[in-house]
């Protein structure tokens, strides 16, 4: 049995089908609700910027995020498909909205000089994953929501940044190698690059 699954609702052939049934022997006990701010620059040419947040340990590129982690052995007990699990995750955000936004704001403030009012930011993309944590020995379900934020508000050193121009060539290269300038991409960066959303942002 795989130790991880990922899915969205964009028909991506590399993803798990939301209508697929959850593995019968999986008990989901932990939930991670992640609010991602994507550093976005529009002029003179569209680009997004990924950040090497932990160069001495993970040494990978990701988008800054924050949110809320919950332990609950029962809340997903009636979910039978990945689609059902998506609904559980979205309901958890609504039921814990103040703590979710407060946690996101606190964590994002480590990377942005100014964190916008998160309630005002509609997501441009949302995806989900289910993974087995070997350290916790628990299955964890994740929801990631992606929200553009002005690059000018990013407050991390230049050495930790990698700009990704939104052109077909540069996106294709990043996805083919799963790297930008020699640093590997975390899944939240690769997932966004695989969507048609970047085609909309691109000027190609």
What string of DSSP letters covers 39-54?
A: EEE-SSS-EEEEE-S-
Check residue 11 and give its pLDDT: 65
pLDDT digits (tens, 9 = 90+) for 3-33: 899 998 776 777 899 999 999 999 999 999 9
Number of folded domains that form the chain:
1
Which of these, 75, 47, 62, 51, lies nearest to 139 by C-alpha position? 75
In a domain, 143, yes or no: yes
Helix/strand/coil for 8: coil
Check residue 9 and give its pLDDT: 77
Query: CATH number of the domain that 40 lies in?
Result: 3.90.79.10
Q: Give the start-end residues of each E strand in 44-156.
A: 47-51, 60-61, 65-71, 125-133, 138-150
In a domain, 23, yes or no: no
Answering whether pTM is above 0.85, one says yes
């Amino acid at each position: 049995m795989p130790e991880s699954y990922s899915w969205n609702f964009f028909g991506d052939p590399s993803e798990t089908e939301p209508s697929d049934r959850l593995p019968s022997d999986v008990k989901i006990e932990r939930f991670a609700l992640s609010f991602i701010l994507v550093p976005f620059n529009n002029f003179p040419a569209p680009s997004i910027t990924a950040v090497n947040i932990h160069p001495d340990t993970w040494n990978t590129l990701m988008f800054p995020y924050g949110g809320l982690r919950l332990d609950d052995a029962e809340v997903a007990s009636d979910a039978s498909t990945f689609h059902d699990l998506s609904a559980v995750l979205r309901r958890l955000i609504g039921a814990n909205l103040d703590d979710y936004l407060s946690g996101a704001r606190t964590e994002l403030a480590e990377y942005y000089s100014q964190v916008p009012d998160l309630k005002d930011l509609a997501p441009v993309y949302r995806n989900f994953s289910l993974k087995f944590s070997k350290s916790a020995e628990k299955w964890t379900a994740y929801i990631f929501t992606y929200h553009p934020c002005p690059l000018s508000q990013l407050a991390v050193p230049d050495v930790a940044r990698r700009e990704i121009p939104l052109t077909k060539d540069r996106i294709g290269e990043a996805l083919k190698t799963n790297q930008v300038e020699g640093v590997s991409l975390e899944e939240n960066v690769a997932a966004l690059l695989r969507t048609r959303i970047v085609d909309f942002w691109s000027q190609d």
